[in-house]
Amino acid sequence: MLSDEQLAAFRVELERQLEALAAQDAATAESRRPVELDQQSTGRLTRMDALQQQAMAKAAEQRRRAAAGRIRAALQRLDDDAYGDCVRCGEEIPIARLRLDPATAVCVPCLESDDG
């Protein structure tokens, strides 16, 4: 069982990670804007670069969204007094694993059975 202090520390860490994701999202919002069709100021190669960068920024945004979703789910488990239990089998997730990734939802055996 996790102590109240440990649970509080995980909550702080999860909220910190969520804020960091939001900050990254705000910082890269500009690069996700539609690429403008301005042939005078941007040559063809530059425009392709811009499109590629935009695609990468969008992919990064999707990863951040997925990560934020995991973190919000973990915060919800904290609220539900279910944090630290594997959502699949209900076993306690070792604290070392939670420290590595506080948003983790499943234990290692369940994760591995998922892959195979």
For the chain, how long is the longest CA-to-CA vector? 64
Q: Which is nearer to Zn ion, 46 or 113 (by Cβ)?
A: 113
Per CB under 5 A, the segment of 26-34, 50-58, 64-72, 99-107 that binds Zn ion is 99-107
Residue closer to Zn ion (CB basis): 8 or 95:
95
Amino acid at 37: L
Does position 97 interact with Zn ion (CB under 5 A)? The reply is: no
DSSP letter string, 20-76: HHHHHHHHHGGGGSPPP--TTTS-HHHHHHHHHHHHHHHHHHHHHHHHHHHHHHHHH
Q: How far is the CB of 53 from Zn ion (least distance, A)?
A: 40
CB of 2 to Zn ion, least distance (A): 16
- Which residues are at the interface with Zn ion (CB under 5 A)? 86, 88-89, 107, 110
